[in-house]
Structure 1
C-alpha cells in the first residue's frame, strides 16, 4: 500500500453489512463480514472485508477505531422529506388536503425569512444525522431563500443532499404562490448556483399536479430536459380525493401519472412519492422511464391515504426506496420507517425480510436516484457515508439481539425495536458528524 496515503487512512473494525443487488431478486445480494474492517481514504471507501484479511494490508501507523460488537452499514438514504415541515410534525387532521390547508401552508409561509430558514435547516440536518440518514431528497418552500439556507447548512457539513424550490402557481394561498415563469427562473438560478457544487444537488420540484398549471409543468419539463443530471421530485396518487381532483383538472390525461409524463417529468432521476393509487399501465410507465418510487408508510398511515402495493410494484420491476415524508411522516428515523413498512406490506399479503428493508434504505435508494457507485454501499471508491448501529442501545433491544441466531433476526430486531438511539455514530465523507450523547470515542 502507498505509504504516502497514510495521513488520510482510517480504519474501523465492526461487523459490516452492505448490498450489491436487491435481495428480492438475487440470492447473493448482500455482503456480510461478522468481524470486518472498513478502510477509508479521505472521503472515500478504500476497502471493506474481513478483518483478518485486510488488517495485514494496513501500515502499522494507521490506528483502528474499534467498534466490535456493533454493526456498520451504509448511511441511510431518505428519498422524500420536507424540511420546512419539521416544526409541524405530528399535527392532527382528517386527511391530506385539510392537513395542507391547516398546518402546512401557514408553516411554510415563514421561510421567506432567511434566518428562520437557516435555523430550521440546521436543526433538520442534525436530526437526520442523529437518526443515521446521510442523504435525503428534500423539499424546501416556494421561497428561494429556503433553498439557499438549506444548501448552505448542508455544504457546511459536507453532506450529500438533494433539494429543490417548490413550484406552485395555483390552488394555494397567495403568500405561497409563484408564477410559471418565475418558478422556472428561480429554479434555474438555483441549479446554476448549487447543482453539483461540492456534494449538493438540485431537484426540480413541482409540489404536485393540482398546484401547478399546465404552463408551469411544461416549464418544469423543459428544465428537466435542459439539465438531465438534476433530479425531479413530486407527489403522485397519494390520496383518493387528490386523484379525483387531478382527474377534474387534467381531463385529457389518462391518469394522474400521465400528467407528469405529458410534461416530460418522467425520466431517470425522477422520484415520485407515494404511488399508492396507480394502475398497471402507470407502473409499467414508471419502470420503462426509470422513474422511482419513494414509499412513505408512516405518512400514508398517519393521513389515512392507503397502503403501498409491494407485490404489484415488484411484478412491474419498479425502482423502490423508503422515505419518512416528514412532516406528514411521524419520525425522522429510517429504522422506525422500516417498522411501518413491514406492517404495510403484511396488510397487503407481502412479507418483507429485514434484508430487503435495509437494502431499500441504502443501495436501493441510491439506485433509484442513479447514485449507485457514489453512495449506498461499500464498493471501493464510493463516498464514505456510514453509520454504526448499536445492538445494546436500549435494554429491550439488547435483550432481543442477545437471542438472535441469524443476520436476518438481528436486522429485524433493529427494524422493529430500533430508533435514533440505535445509531451510535454517523460518518459523512469520512468524518464523524454525529456521536450519540454519552458515547466515548471508540479508538
Structure 2
C-alpha cells in the first residue's frame, strides 16, 4: 500500500503514564486543536495545530475533523476468536458454559473455510470498535490461527494470537496431546512470529485442561523462543479455583501451578485474576507478568469483581479485555463502562483517564509494546482512532453539556459504542470507516 506524509487535525488525547503512579493531571496530553503527522505508517509529529502547521510543506494532505477526538487505537488484552458465533449465550457460569456452548462452537474450526469466514468477521468487528491490537485465543486447531494471521497480515495489523493447548478435561474432538500441541505451536511460531506486525502467544487454555506434561512443553517453548507471549486464564471463578486445587494438590495455589511450569514472565498475560490474593499479585508483579481485566465477562458469567486497587498497590501491569464470547461486546468503550461499575461496587472510583490508560498505554505496557503502540508519541506506529461526538443524537446532546475533556471522555465511555468510532487507522492506513 503506498503511504505518504499526511496530517490529521482534531482534538487529540493520549495517555503518557499511569494515573495511579503520577496522578491524573500528569498522566495524559490533550490538544484541543491538535495535529498528528504520519510518515510511512509511523507518527512523526504531535502537537498544537497552531505550532505544527507552519513547519509543514504547503501541499501536505491534511484531514480536518470537526466535533471529533483522536485517540490511540484500543488494545484488547483478552479475546477468543472462535467464540464469535456464541457471544451472548444464555444462562451458565464458567465451567458449564464451556461445556454447553464453547466447546461445540470451537469444534467447527477443524474446517479451514469456517475459520477463514470467522476470522474475517472477527477482524472487521475489532476494527469497527476501534481495536487495533488484540491478544487472541484461537481454537485447538492450527488453522484457526493461520486464518486469523492471514487476515491480519493483509491489513498490516499488530496482532498477537496462539493455538489453544488442551489435552484433558475437554471433549475428545477438541483435545490435542502434549506432543502435538508442542509441535503444532512450534510450526505456527516458525511461520508467523515476528512476521510483519504479528506475534505468537503460547496458549494453554487454563490449568485444568492441560496435563503437567503439556504445561512443561508450554514452558519449554517460552525458553526456546525468548520473545514469545504466553496467555492463559487464572482465578476467574471459585469452582474453577477448587478444581485446580484438586488437580494439582502438590502446588500451593492456582498461580503456583503456572509458576512451577515457568509460565510467568514479561510477556505473560493472565486473564481475569478476579480472586487473586495479595501474595499472588506480588508474585505476578515481581515476574513482570500482566493481568487482563475483563469486567463485562466477569459480570456476564457471574465470576466476581476484579480488585484493581490491589493490582495498583503492587504496581502490576493491567490491561483491559473484552473476553468475547464470555464478554458480550467487542467495544472497549462499552467494556470500560462496565469497568467503572465494577469499581463502584467496591467503593472505588475509576477516572476516565485511568480507563483511557487501561485501553491504550496500559494494554501496550502489559504486552511490552509501549514503544510501538498505545500512545501517539513520535516514533510510534500510526494506530489511531477518530471518535465522533455526534455519533448518536443522545451522545451529541449530552456532549454539548460537557465542560472539559474529562467529562467528554467519561461520556464517550458511558454512552459510546461501535457507532462512536468514525474511522480506524492501522500503520497509517484507513482500515475502517463507519
| Normalised-by-shorter TM-score class | over 0.9
| Conservation of the 8 A alpha-carbon contact between 2:3 and 2:428 | no
Matched ranges for 1:236-251 at <5 A: 236-251=234-249
Once the two structures are TM-superposed, the CA of residue 280 in structure 1 deviates from its matched residue by 1.0
Q: How far apart in 1 are the matches of 2:202 and 2:398?
A: 44
| Conservation of the 8 A alpha-carbon contact between 1:310 and 1:350 | no
Following TM superposition, the consecutive aligned residue runs of length 4 or more in structure 1 with deviations greater than 3 angstroms are none
Once the two structures are superposed, what CA deviation does each residue of 1:131-167 show, in whole Å capped at 9, x if it has no partner? 0000000000110111111100111111100000000
Q: How far apart in 2 are the matches of 1:391 and 1:384?
A: 22
| Conservation of the 8 A alpha-carbon contact between 1:240 and 1:305 | yes
1:201 aligns with 2:199: yes
Hey, what does 1:260 align to over in structure 2? 258
Matched ranges for 1:172-211 at <5 A: 172-211=170-209
Once the two structures are TM-superposed, the CA of residue 68 in structure 1 deviates from its matched residue by 2.8
Once the two structures are TM-superposed, the CA of residue 7 in structure 1 deviates from its matched residue by 6.9
Matched ranges for 1:92-103 at <5 A: 92-103=90-101
Q: How far apart in 2 are the matches of 1:349 and 1:254?
A: 31
Once the two structures are superposed, what CA deviation does each residue of 1:32-89 show, in whole Å capped at 9, x if it has no partner? 1000000000110001100000101111110210113210000000000001100000
Structure 1 residue aligned with 2:360, among 362, 386, 411? Answer: 362
Aligned-partner SS, 2:298: helix
Structure 2 residue aligned with 1:152, among 129, 150, 153? Answer: 150
1:108 aligns with 2:99: no
Hey, what does 1:58 align to over in structure 2? 56
| Conservation of the 8 A alpha-carbon contact between 2:80 and 2:137 | yes
Q: How far apart in 2 are the matches of 1:312 and 1:153?
A: 38
Once the two structures are TM-superposed, the CA of residue 380 in structure 1 deviates from its matched residue by 1.1
Once the two structures are superposed, what CA deviation does each residue of 1:375-421 show, in whole Å capped at 9, x if it has no partner? 11111111000000011111111111111111110000001100000
Q: How far apart in 2 are the matches of 1:419 and 1:272?
A: 26
Q: How far apart in 2 are the matches of 1:89 and 1:7?
A: 37
RMSD: 0.9
Hey, what does 1:335 align to over in structure 2? 333
Structure 2 residue aligned with 1:25, among 15, 21, 24? Answer: 21
Hey, what does 1:14 align to over in structure 2? 10
Once the two structures are superposed, what CA deviation does each residue of 1:310-339 show, in whole Å capped at 9, x if it has no partner? 121111111111010000000000000000
Hey, what does 2:226 align to over in structure 1? 228
Matched ranges for 1:44-443 at <5 A: 44-436=42-434
Aligned-partner SS, 2:68: strand
Once the two structures are TM-superposed, the CA of residue 94 in structure 1 deviates from its matched residue by 2.5
TM-score, normalization: structure 2?
Answer: 0.98
Task: Specify whether residues 7 and 157 from structure 1 end up closer, same or farther in structure 2 by C-alpha distance, changes over 3 A only.
Answer: closer
Q: How far apart in 2 are the matches of 1:347 and 1:318?
A: 21
Worse-superposed segment, 201-210 or 6-15: 6-15
Worse-superposed segment, 282-291 or 18-27: 18-27
Q: How far apart in 2 are the matches of 1:76 and 1:7?
A: 22
Aligned-partner SS, 2:37: strand
| Conservation of the 8 A alpha-carbon contact between 1:8 and 1:42 | yes
Aligned-partner SS, 1:282: helix
Q: How far apart in 2 are the matches of 1:194 and 1:343?
A: 38
Q: How far apart in 1 are the matches of 2:15 and 2:336?
A: 17
Aligned residues: 431
Q: How far apart in 2 are the matches of 1:7 and 1:261?
A: 45
Aligned-partner SS, 1:8: coil
Q: How far apart in 1 are the matches of 2:74 and 2:141?
A: 28
